[in-house]
Amino acid sequence: MPGQILAGEAPSPAGRSDWRDELIETIRLALPIALTQLGQVAMMTSDLALLGRLGQEVVAASALAHTVLFGAFVVGMGLVSAVSPLAAQAFGARQPRMVRRALRVGLWAATLLGIPLSLTQLEGERILLALGQTPVEAKLAAEYLKGLAWCLVPAWWFIALRGFMQSVNRPEPGLWITLAAIPANGVLAYGLIYGEFGLPRLEMFGAGLATTIVNLGMCAAGVWVCYACRPFKKYRVLGRFWVPDWVLFKQLLAIGAPISVTMMLEFGVFAAAALLMGWLGTAALAAHQIAITSASIMFMVPFGVSMAATVRVGHAVGRRDTEGTRRAGMAAIALGAGFMALMTLLAALFRHHIPLVFMGFGTAPTDPTLLLAATLLLLGASFFIADGVQTVAAGALRGLNDTRMTLVYAAICFWVIGFSVCYALGFPLGYGAPGIWIGLSIGLALYALLLIRRFHRLTKRGYLPDVATPA
């Protein structure tokens, strides 16, 4: 088979060239996607920084509000993430009508799901009170959620539009829109929180309202780019928008629903780990938050590589290129692992300095939180690499439309094994916060290995999913 390397043979120049070209194309696609994700983090961070000036209760309430919102956001994010593999496969198969149809069903899913989940956000106070939160914090969080409630649909639309752009190898407009949104969000949030620039002082409601307005603007900009700019306009993305497409909609649900549940399982185990840290005390929870925030920032790059892997694998599937499918996924996995290995080394070397960014550079070197955060960053040697590899491997499997086994693996690795080990090491065995992180690392590492094994086995036997054909 072309490009296959037999045992005992050195890679041919053509084989090395194929792998080098694949790495270059993956990097070219992943870089703007990763920067876009970092831009999203920058917007969230600026909101928290502005709200922080209103007091600790507001900061705590905003964290609660984000927890409620994110639970709903993940559901829709998983569904619209299925736009990318469907559109990429159609692009690889040179079926432009199917590319448009993939985007159309993603936008429909975002709208149909977004309306009831947006209304749910308006019940934030009741939800938080039922979860045992204090009335003061629940009321403050509810004010924030009233402003945030209607950001879900435009945010999901923008994710679907970005998936379409990425699938046709043009992810850059998503980055430019996000870069423009960062200062716009900061200025608008500042004005609505504190009543500056002639705007009313709305405090927490204003912060949420600013986020919704900016998301609406990003969505409108994305629609305009896809409708009016080359090379997107030839797809006529809004053409026949009102025509039902239940066959492809069903396929989107079949791929996207397991992604949503998998994301919820992952989000849930990290939320549960934070709860366990809270049982150990304020210092343990703060140290965990510092280390996990650092991991989240680093995670944005392999997350971008994951999206690129979905597209590159999907393109090869559309071309019916079995060797290209395998090469695209494995190259992306190697790229994600290499980047996170470098980040892990830097985190270990600067483990005593990174916490100072969050705690202030005047913090005493003997501060318990600082020392514990440094220990967790050192323990991140396996955590960071496994986290990066698992998300890229999951992205490669999405390019094959293979999401159900990913869900099964997530349930086993994150909860049956990961959470159980977290609890056992953290409490009965007395290792505390380091034990909880070791448990998370074990769950993530096993998950990453199972996903790589799954991709290896599917591509080794030349598996290619059926590509939807125009109706």
- The reported pLDDT for the residue numbered 468 is 65
Q: Which two tokens stand for residue 244?
A: 């039902």
Beta strands in 338-457 (DSSP E): none
Contact 249, 109 (CB under 8 A): yes
d(CA 465, CA 66): 37
Residue 88, CA atoms < 13 Å, CB-side half-sphere: 34
55: left (phi over 0), alpha (psi -120 to 50) or beta: left
Helices (H), 82-95: 83-92
**What residues have CB less than 8 Å from 275, skipping those under 6 apart?**
none
Residues 413-465: pLDDT tens digits? 999 999 999 999 999 998 998 999 999 999 999 999 999 999 999 999 988 88
Q: What is the DSSP string of 225-265?
A: HHHHSTTGGGG-TTTTTTS--HHHHHHHHHHHHHHHHHHHH
Question: Which residue, among 291, 258, 226, 308, has the nearest Cα to 411 in the 3D structure?
Answer: 258
Percent of the chain surpassing pLDDT 90: 54
| Residues 6 or more apart whose Cβ sits within 8 Å of residue 49 | none
Three-state secondary-structure class, residue 84: helix
User: Identity (one letter) of the amino acid at 5?
Assistant: I
Rg (CA), the chain: 22
For residue 376, count other CB atoms closer than 10 A to its CB. Answer: 26
Does the pLDDT value for residue 13 go beyond 60? no
Contacts of residue 392, defined as CB under 8 A and 6 or more positions apart, other chains included, come to: 302, 305, 306, 309, 332, 333, 335, 336, 337
Segment 374-387, tens digit of pLDDT? 999 888 877 889 99
Residues 6+ apart with CB under 8 A from 32: 171, 172, 174, 175, 304
Give the model confidence (pLDDT) of 395-427 as tens digits.
999 999 999 999 999 999 999 999 999 999 999
Residue in this structure with the two tokens 């990290």, named with its chain if needed: 270
Helix (H) or strand (E) holding 160: helix 152-167
Give pLDDT tens digits for 295-346: 888 889 999 999 999 999 999 999 999 999 999 999 999 999 999 999 999 9
Token pair for 374: 């440094």
Q: Let me know: does 458 contact 328? Beta carbons within 8 Å.
A: no
